[in-house]
Chains A and B, each alone.
Chain A
Amino acid sequence: MSSANRNTTPVNRRRFLQDAARVAGACAVGGMALTKLATDARALPAQALRPPGALPEEHFLAACIRCGLCVRDCPYDTLKLAELGLDGAATGTPFFTARDVPCEMCEDIPCVVACPTGALDHDLTNIDDSRMGLAVLIDEEKCLNALGLRCDVCYRVCPVIDKAITLELSHNQRSGAHAIFMPVVHSDHCTGCGKCEKSCVLPGEAAIKVLPIRVATADAADHYRLGWEEDTPLVDELIDLPDRLPGPGTDNLVAPGGYLPEGMPDPSMEGGFAPSYGLPGIGGAGQ
């Protein structure tokens, strides 16, 4: 290219432009392939959980440089770097599988401290505030407690016992004489450490699983107002509805009784109300 720059005869200029177009085209194709890879890399499998404090997935891939320092400082060998073709997470990024090795929720959170870029948010200083995922009792047909037995293992191993998982009593319809101790997960306390999933006594897959927050939670129905949760009344004060007087009309709010008093707006004007049909008794076209 430098030779083309030195010599600016038309042939060389054409050659230069051709070369530039060719390499630009090749880079565009390569760039599109790379963009496809970058987009695909965001598809984190539901079973792959990020370390405590991990930024949301799309931001995480801008921040994580895949150095593995969090993996090295994890004292329980919970974290692994994803291997190409074997693990679903983006190659080289840290993750853990709750069913294999859950997070032990170290108080000093060494993985977060080790992260040089802040892909694991350094503002996370209390491990109880971490949200690696959310436990969900995903198979109530197999959960022993849901069947009316007393397994309770997920409840007992939970590091935030009685807050993140509680046992809710209900009547056992099948036996008619016993209680069901249903494990219920509460999202305001569950850190997603995965100890419940790890400890579930079922062979193979667990009945309770930690899912990524984005999978495990729904958006709140903000278009409904939950009156029992609001301290302010839904309406500020009593609405003074117009008094309806006896008279020929029934829908005529502007002219109660069917006549227009002095000073009232004409119903046909803006702000007035006129029924779309004629009213009987006032000489209209109705009936």
Chain B
Amino acid sequence: MSQTTSLPVGREAVLEKGWWKAYQFLILRRISQVFFLGIFLLGPWAGIWWVKGNLASSLTFDILPLTDPFVLLQGMLAQHWPEMTAIIGALIVGVAYALIGGRVYCSWVCPINPVTDTAHWLHDKLGFAKGWQPKRNTRYWVLGMVLAVSALTGSIAWELVNPISMLHRGLIFGMGFAWTFVLAVFVFDLVVSRRGWCGHLCPVGAFYGLLGKGSILRVSATKRAECDDCMDCFAVCPEMHVITPALRGADADTPIILSSDCTNCGRCIDVCAPDVFTFTTRFDETPAPARAERRNTKRQPEASRAA
């Protein structure tokens, strides 16, 4: 084990790149999350009605409609053809996420993300076992189940339980006992399944993942040759299986993380001391030689165990 692996996760990055560079995307992400909740709260809390509504559908500056395409899709399957406002709103949101990455919603906007991130932080602090880890495609089964129930019952099924809307709508319009759903997700992630909710089950994340399958904005392990196997990126990544094909790929393999599970959170860029990762586009053709063969063979078993 090298010197760097013995350091706490992210410590080496702070030492080499400075505090800001080692935390910038985490901080930007938190700012973004606060921003997207805050602009909705400005109205009810401060009387500044720039944005009305909630994440399901909103109206910004009385002109820009935005609608959650997943909610609208359920409504359509429940046999309601919506008014044009909602369709335009869903198209705007859909096209935006299709370009910048569907799961950007998960890491930069969704108010449940800080909840599950906190659960994960506490999970690490308490040294719990990773617990139940559902199969990677479980979320697509859940997504299919939700769409099927919507069609069968003629109602927008996921909104009956969706912890995202429970929290977001609760904060903006009144919580009632909706916090129990948020607490349930927190406890689930803390003691039942590490990174379980966002990483394995949430059908909203599954939907946005599929939406952003061909997205332009991507993280790339461009300087993968400089990887020193510290494993910090795997430790911070909420979907760590997306890293391996890019980082451990051969010369011919693309260094771009193309998995639709990647949330573009940028945390891997933060914690990497040699700056292996960077944001780029999926069309980036910059040559990225693989890491030297001997290190590859030497580290492989350890890497797969950690992943």
**A residues whose Cβ falls under 8 Å from a Cβ of B:** 1-2, 19, 23-24, 26-28, 30-31, 34-35, 37-39, 41-42, 55, 58-59, 61-69, 71-73, 80-87, 90-92, 114-119, 122
Q: Which stretch in B13-21, B29-37, B144-152, B289-297 binds the other chain?
A: B144-152
**A61/B154 contact (C-beta < 8 A), A66-B165, A69-B53 known:** yes
B83 touches A84 (CB 8 A): no
B137 is an interface residue with CB less than 8 A from chain A:
yes
Q: Which of A62, A82, A91 contacts B154 (CB 8 A)?
A: A62
Which residues of B60-96 are within 8 A (CB) of A? 65, 67-68, 71-72, 75, 78-83, 85-86, 89
B128 is an interface residue with CB less than 8 A from chain A:
no
25 contacts between A and B (CB under 8 A): A26-B141, A27-B145, A31-B145, A34-B157, A35-B152, A39-B153, A58-B154, A61-B155, A62-B75, A62-B80, A62-B155, A62-B156, A65-B67, A65-B72, A65-B156, A67-B67, A68-B169, A69-B58, A81-B169, A84-B177, A84-B180, A91-B166, A92-B165, A117-B57, A117-B83
Tell me, rounded to whole Å, the shortest Cβ–Cβ distance linking A61 to chain B: 4
**A117/B75 contact (C-beta < 8 A), A65-B159, A67-B54, A81-B174 known:** yes
**A66/B169 contact (C-beta < 8 A), A38-B160, A58-B154, A61-B156 known:** yes
**B residues whose Cβ falls under 8 Å from a Cβ of A:** 43, 49, 52-54, 56-59, 65, 67-68, 71-72, 75, 78-83, 85-86, 89, 134-138, 141-142, 144-146, 148-149, 152-161, 165-166, 169-170, 172-178, 180-181
B178 touches A84 (CB 8 A): yes
B137 touches A92 (CB 8 A): no
**A118/B157 contact (C-beta < 8 A), A31-B149, A91-B178 known:** no
Closest to B90 in A: A116
Find chain B residues with CB under 8 A from A59 CB.
80, 154
Closest to A31 in B: B145
**A122/B83 contact (C-beta < 8 A), A23-B134, A34-B160, A91-B176 known:** yes
Find chain A residues with CB under 8 A from B79 CB.
62
Tell me, rounded to whole Å, the shortest Cβ–Cβ distance linking A108 to chain B: 15
Closest to B79 in A: A62
Tell me, rounded to whole Å, the shortest Cβ–Cβ distance linking A286 to chain B: 66
Complex alpha-carbon distance, A72 and B160, angstroms: 21
A37 touches B174 (CB 8 A): no
A65 touches B169 (CB 8 A): no
Q: Which of B82, B146, B158, B166 contacts A84 (CB 8 A)?
A: B166
Q: Which of A23, A42, A69, A71 contacts B59 (CB 8 A)?
A: A69
Complex alpha-carbon distance, A65 and B80, angstroms: 11
B82 touches A118 (CB 8 A): yes
Find chain B residues with CB under 8 A from A73 CB.
52
Q: Which of A23, A37, A65, A86 contacts B135 (CB 8 A)?
A: A23
Tell me, rounded to whole Å, the shortest Cβ–Cβ distance linking B21 to chain A: 34
Complex alpha-carbon distance, A42 and B168, angstroms: 23
B82 touches A63 (CB 8 A): yes
Find chain A residues with CB under 8 A from B178 CB.
83-84, 91
- Give 6 closest A-B pairs by Cβ, nearest first: A83-B176, A62-B78, A85-B177, A67-B57, A61-B155, A38-B153
Closest to B241 in A: A2
A91 touches B75 (CB 8 A): no
A31 touches B160 (CB 8 A): no
Closest to B159 in A: A66
**A72/B53 contact (C-beta < 8 A), A34-B157, A117-B72 known:** yes
B135 touches A117 (CB 8 A): no
A90 touches B53 (CB 8 A): no
Q: Which of B67, B86, B141 contacts A24 (CB 8 A)?
A: B141
